[in-house]
Structure 1
Amino acid sequence: MSSRFGLLDLLVLIAYLAGTTGLGIWIGRKQKDAKDYFVADRAIPWWAVLFSIVASETSALTFISIPGLAYLGNLGFLQVVAGYIIGRIVVSYTLLPRYFEGDLVTAYALLERRFGLGARRFTSIVFMVTRAIADSVRVFATAIPVALLIGPAVPREYVMPLAILILGLLTVVYTYKGGMKAVVWTELVQAGVYVLGGISAVVLLGRSVAGGWGSIIDQAGAAGKLVGIDLYTGLDRPHTIFAGLIGGAFLAMASHGADQLIVQRLLSSRNLKEAQRALIGSGFVVFVQFTLFLMVGIGLWVLYGGREFPAADQIFPSFIVERMPPGLLGLILAAIVAATMSTHSGTINSLAAATTHDIYLPLTKRSPDDPRTLKMGKLFALVWGLGLTFGALLYPNDPKLPVVVVALAIASFTYGGLLGAFFLGIFWKRAIQRDMILGMSVGLFCMAFIVFAGQIARVAPGLAPTLLPLSKIAWPWYVLIGTSITLATGILSSLTHPAPTTDPMAMPARRAA
């Protein structure tokens, strides 16, 4: 164990983990049925949902990877974050009202009302596969500081696997008992602690650099590290004003409008207006939070003189382990671990909800109120928790690629198809289930060529002239491209059959599981 990690830090770490886990179990102790387990009986106030959204999307990845982005680059990532705000506003007034029209537990129940059960199952499975892969990356990311901590006491080849198992298995226990109510309320505590960690880092950096933050700003400004706007119009850079505002908006529309992880939190709100307030407000809070952690990266660049690290995601964890004072070191490490446990818990809960309501209940014809539904929901949570933990063990450790970029690229890969399916249902009344599934399938297939163009070109050199330009497209554009392909394919397919004689969305909302 790290020589700087003393008894006080150990006690803080144990107390924090035990306290948050115990809080989650206590809050979720009176679950009545599956609805209570998955959407907290729709009784969560808007401000709690707001911070739950913030915590779920920015926890460990923000804490670990975002400072590394600024360390290696500048403040350009804020252009993408600005796009997140735009996307949230669009979702608040297009998709959210439709979710609150029926008694929905999953986002994909809306597609069943519009297209049919096959559409619901298809999109839910796509969500589950994408979220499972992305969340495995999140668990891997948070295992990095834990690995740095236990590294000296464990053989090198077992460090990361042991760190991943510690995080994953603790989360399985926490999630199985807690439910969505526990997820939301514990995230409030955890978000506050890791923001406190970011503020503490800013203060310590100011004290560690001669001249404080005035000197940091001067040196960073002279080196171009404070640049936040890039007017470049090409598609090969991720952090430009166009990729940020347009691509970031589409990414947020998909992640907050078509991803069960966030939609499930919004459905826990008391009503539509509170959900809209939570969603839009979270965008501005996220912008402030990302600014904080990017500035930490700027300060680290000045402190370390821009020296190279084995991996971008080791920069801030190294500072934490090396520079944080006793007690605060334990609290910060606990915050990183607990924040990911919370986000991981929310993912497991949303995957279990999708499995239960989109797959299990339609097959068994059971009622959501059946006591066996709650038991099966918990069983699915257990299975998903174990699966995600072992999935993180398979993640390849590429020292040159920030984990946050990997997670966002994975999500962006399928988000376009999901968002396109929802937009097709809302804005193109002629479309039927066949058109939606075909459009989404073509969108996913085309995005596979774009995302994996470089790898395919190496295997098939004859295709390199065509594929290599595609491999240079930056990840913020993935969702827009995927959405456009899905919509175009679905619209063209709808022209091959007669238009429906009734508006499916105008039908009375049946009870959706």
Structure 2
Amino acid sequence: MSPLLLLAFVLAYFVLLLIVAWLSSRGADNESFFIGNKSSHWMLVAFGMIGTSLSGVTFISVPGAVGATAFSYFQIALGQFIGYFVIAYVLLPLYYRLNLSSIYVFLRGRLGPRAYQTGAGFFMVSRTLGATARLYLVVKILQELILERLGLPFWLTALVILLMILAYTFEGGVKTIVWTDTLQTSGMLLGLVICVVYLLRGLDLSLGQSLRELDAAGLSTIFVGDPNSRFFFAKQILAGIFISIAMTGMDQEMMQKNISVRRLADSQKNVITLSLIMLVVVLLFLFLGGLLQLFATQQAMAERGDQLFAAVVLGHLPAWVQLVFVLALISALFPSADGAITALTSSFCIDLLGLQRRQDWSEAKKTAVRRRVHLSFAAVFLLLVLVFRWVDNPSMIGLILKLAGYTYGPLLGLFAFGLLTRRQPRDGWVPLVAIAAPLLCWLIDSRQRALFGAYEIGLELLLLNGALTFAGLWLISSRPQRASLASSSARL
């Protein structure tokens, strides 16, 4: 298909997003931007969060990894399913009881101001790295599919896409994103289903026949029984539990949408609904990946990993399916970036600048500051996308989960310590513990062969990091006196 025609459809899709943003952001203020005035409908939030949770990396990288790891990624999805129940019935009741705009305010009331700033800081690092890695992968594919053929450089593609995201998030924030994410998730899932149907046709297989072919090729294996493997089922399921707790339940971007729902019960319905849909969608992505591998083998294609999906669709499927693929890719791209920039802006303004507590600032000044922060994060995103371009990785899903193990571990340890103990750490030492834990994890990870022999540390690195943070906080803490305990309860 002509790159100019593809570009025209992408621009038309963006215009549709702008119309949705304009309709949803009328009368928006700072509370609309931060928590959607607590008026979001739980069904819209649940459906839109599918796109945010999956992103362009899942759309491209999970199917591409099936050739190397079969369906073993579903083990992580099973763990995440369990973790979502912890979020719904442990974390959400806490957030609603405290009436939070930023979930890290819990850390301030329970552990102290440095713990609060440390939690917010690690969220910003985590979400910035994760979101820009996801953004890079999709920008890279769009560059190769469309813009490179028009003679445009990669940096300009990244800049234009970020400006497009800014255009529809600048005013409405969460209030707008709840609606645009719903539209984008619909586009992504529609593209997924259409690609599956046309691959089955291209392979001349029924659903039952394709499952038998996948099994014969060893591509449908879900559970790995080798305890030494980093894909061992117990390790993957356990990692999945804590990935969802940390990367969803302790992540401002994900929780910002949940706490924009007016009632706790509706927010809980949102999370449980999300957990059920995610199992089905991840399994469908893995099935797509298996079909891609069968098709690539049949056609003697050399592409593998993150390059496979685009190569099959653009080289072998009809032009209109190529168009659907590009629009679905765009739909997968935007939710992973628009929500991240909005949540980072919210966390920076609320947690580090104390915007909501500044009684000496007018609403106009608060809005001006929030806009400058929003633009600044967009600039940071552009810079990091260019860095990822420089250090290109063949499997972005593996890189993102690895980064999450280092950056979300301290958040997991901080929240666990605050929820499971009544001890009070020395507040000034908390940042040192939170930095020391991932450094120790890096040392262990880099020397794991010498330390553990055949045993491989995989995604349980996140749990190890959280445990080290928890242990460090215990060492620098003491039992609270009755007076300090009462003071802590009052702050909460």
Same fold by TM-score greater than 0.5: yes
Q: Select between 50-59 and 163-172 the one with higher mean Cα deviation.
A: 163-172
The CA distance in 2 between the partners of 1:470 and 1:163, in whole Å, is 44
How does 1:96-115 map onto structure 2 within 5 Å? 96-115=92-111
Contact preservation (8 Å) 2:75, 2:223? yes
The CA distance in 1 between the partners of 2:386 and 2:304, in whole Å, is 18
Q: Say whether 1:82 aligns with 2:78.
A: yes
Q: Select between 382-391 and 317-326 the one with higher mean Cα deviation.
A: 317-326
Distance 1:364-1:498 versus aligned 2 partners, 3 A rule: closer
Contact preservation (8 Å) 2:33, 2:171? no
How does 1:306-321 map onto structure 2 within 5 Å? 309=302, 312-321=305-314
Contact preservation (8 Å) 1:55, 1:191? yes
Distance 1:504-1:41 versus aligned 2 partners, 3 A rule: farther
TM-aligned CA deviation for residue 504 of structure 1: 5.6
The CA distance in 2 between the partners of 1:358 and 1:321, in whole Å, is 45
SS at match of 1:270: coil
Distance 1:97-1:250 versus aligned 2 partners, 3 A rule: same
Match of 2:461 among 470, 478, 489: 478
Distance 1:390-1:25 versus aligned 2 partners, 3 A rule: farther
Q: Say whether 1:66 aligns with 2:56.
A: no
Q: Deviations over 1:111-138 (max 9, x none)?
A: 1111222221121111111211111111
Contact preservation (8 Å) 1:310, 1:399? no
Scaled by the length of structure 2, the TM-score of the pair is 0.92
* Residue number in structure 2 paired with 1:16: 13
TM-aligned CA deviation for residue 310 of structure 1: 5.2
Q: Deviations over 1:166-194 (max 9, x none)?
A: 32232122221331111111111111111
Letter in 1 for 2:134: R
The CA distance in 2 between the partners of 1:106 and 1:308, in whole Å, is 48
Q: Deviations over 1:287-331 (max 9, x none)?
A: 111111111110011111075645611111222322343334223
* Residue number in structure 1 paired with 2:485: 503
Match of 1:408 among 389, 401, 410: 401
Contact preservation (8 Å) 2:80, 2:241? yes
Q: Deviations over 1:10-60 (max 9, x none)?
A: 44322212111331233113213x211111001111111112221111021
Q: Select between 328-337 and 412-421 the one with higher mean Cα deviation.
A: 328-337
The CA distance in 2 between the partners of 1:477 and 1:211, in whole Å, is 38
Match of 2:443 among 449, 456, 480: 449
Contact preservation (8 Å) 1:115, 1:425? yes
Contact preservation (8 Å) 2:165, 2:337? yes
SS at match of 1:349: helix
Q: Say whether 1:380 aligns with 2:376.
A: no
Distance 1:152-1:266 versus aligned 2 partners, 3 A rule: closer
Q: Say whether 1:300 aligns with 2:292.
A: yes
The CA distance in 2 between the partners of 1:395 and 1:403, in whole Å, is 10
Distance 1:263-1:329 versus aligned 2 partners, 3 A rule: same
Q: Select between 260-269 and 428-437 the one with higher mean Cα deviation.
A: 428-437
Letter in 2 for 1:289: V
Q: Say whether 1:240 aligns with 2:232.
A: yes
Distance 1:425-1:339 versus aligned 2 partners, 3 A rule: same
The CA distance in 1 between the partners of 2:270 and 2:398, in whole Å, is 26
Contact preservation (8 Å) 1:193, 1:332? no
Q: Say whether 1:5 aligns with 2:2.
A: yes
The CA distance in 2 between the partners of 1:164 and 1:397, in whole Å, is 14
* Residue number in structure 2 paired with 1:360: 353
SS at match of 2:2: coil
Contact preservation (8 Å) 1:114, 1:504? no
SS at match of 1:503: helix
Q: Say whether 1:230 aligns with 2:212.
A: no
The CA distance in 2 between the partners of 1:25 and 1:325, in whole Å, is 34
Letter in 2 for 1:141: L
Q: Deviations over 1:344-392 (max 9, x none)?
A: 0100000000110011127983479833222211221111012102210
Letter in 1 for 2:489: M
Q: Say whether 1:170 aligns with 2:164.
A: yes
How does 1:104-253 map onto structure 2 within 5 Å? 104-150=100-146, 153=149, 159-234=153-228, 236-237=229-230, 239-253=231-245
Contact preservation (8 Å) 1:60, 1:339? yes
Letter in 2 for 1:408: L
Aligned length: 490
The CA distance in 1 between the partners of 2:359 and 2:440, in whole Å, is 38
The CA distance in 1 between the partners of 2:96 and 2:357, in whole Å, is 25
Contact preservation (8 Å) 1:78, 1:228? yes
SS at match of 1:353: helix
The CA distance in 2 between the partners of 1:397 and 1:69, in whole Å, is 22
Contact preservation (8 Å) 1:9, 1:326? no
Scaled by the length of structure 1, the TM-score of the pair is 0.88
Q: Select between 176-185 and 291-300 the one with higher mean Cα deviation.
A: 176-185
Distance 1:375-1:411 versus aligned 2 partners, 3 A rule: same
Letter in 1 for 2:24: I
The CA distance in 2 between the partners of 1:183 and 1:24, in whole Å, is 8
Q: Select between 373-382 and 419-428 the one with higher mean Cα deviation.
A: 373-382
Letter in 2 for 1:226: S
TM-aligned CA deviation for residue 262 of structure 1: 0.8
Distance 1:6-1:327 versus aligned 2 partners, 3 A rule: farther
Distance 1:209-1:165 versus aligned 2 partners, 3 A rule: same
* Residue number in structure 2 paired with 1:93: 89
The CA distance in 1 between the partners of 2:106 and 2:314, in whole Å, is 47
Percent identical among aligned pairs is 23
The CA distance in 2 between the partners of 1:349 and 1:504, in whole Å, is 35
Distance 1:151-1:311 versus aligned 2 partners, 3 A rule: farther
Q: Select between 92-101 and 318-327 the one with higher mean Cα deviation.
A: 318-327
Which structure 2 residue ranges, 5 or more long, are not aligned? none
Letter in 1 for 2:193: I
